[in-house]
Structure 1
Amino acid sequence: MAYAVIAHYRCSPSDAGLVRDSLLKMREHTREEPGNLAYVVHAETGEEGGFVLYEVYVDRAGFEAHAASAHFAECIVNTVRPRLVDRRVTFAEVL
């Protein structure tokens, strides 16, 4: 069963450009993963520093491989997360 991730990220406006660039770089790497079906980055309207990610993987193992990748460590763990002031992530099975 397909596995979805919806992440809401918020950073300070001064970090928004760096976070945006890292998320777009992450998108390019993720779309090449065999377990990825979709990786969409959204900037919240009227809220500088607000981002929403919608990701779909073939299954939970596909997501776990994604989370264990070198590009995840570089772009998300080392670059994006330290700059976030709020982070909410929802995991779901696609019906």
Structure 2
Amino acid sequence: MYIVIARYRARPETVGEVAELLPSLAESSRQEPGNLSYSITQDLDDPLVFLIVEKYEKATDFDAHRDSAHFKEIGISKIIPLLEDRQVESFNANLT
């Protein structure tokens, strides 16, 4: 399994818009081949911060996600320009 954790920090004036857009990105992403789960949380202490945890069968499934039309349309074109900061980490969960 391949896990991706993205931490988004919205600008104060865009947090509402980011919160409205993220569910549509998640819904489309959950339909992708190889996607096992896609969850979004908003920090209780700092509501500008969103944590996205994505699980895929393999790294190439995540690569396909980043190349998908919905990620380009919603993620890259709409959400990312509204952010103050964005950090993305990837993990290999196939360790035994």
Work out whether the TM-score is over 0.5: yes
How far apart are the structure 2 equivalents of 1:75 and 1:22? Answer: 7
Displacement after TM superposition at 1:88 (Å): 0.9
Alignment of 1:28-67 (within 5 A): 28-67=27-66
Structural RMSD (CA): 0.9
**Displacement over 3 Å in runs of 4+:** none
Report % sequence identity.
37
TM-score (ref. length: structure 1): 0.93
One-letter code aligned to 2:37? A
Q: Please, which runs of 5 or more residues in structure 2 have no aligned partner?
A: none
Q: How far does the alpha carbon of each residue in 1:54-80 deviate from its partner, in whole angstroms, 9 at most, with x for none?
A: 000010110011110000001110011
Q: How far does the alpha carbon of each residue in 1:21-80 deviate from its partner, in whole angstroms, 9 at most, with x for none?
A: 211101100111111001000001121221000000010110011110000001110011
Q: Please, which runs of 5 or more residues in structure 1 have no aligned partner?
A: none
Q: For this pair of structures, how many residues does the alignment match?
A: 94
Aligned partner of 2:85 in structure 1 is 86
How far apart are the structure 2 equivalents of 1:28 and 1:90? Answer: 21
How far apart are the structure 1 equivalents of 2:34 and 2:12? Answer: 33
One-letter code aligned to 1:20? A
Displacement after TM superposition at 1:93 (Å): 0.6
TM-score (ref. length: structure 2): 0.93
Aligned pair 1:13/2:12, yes or no? yes
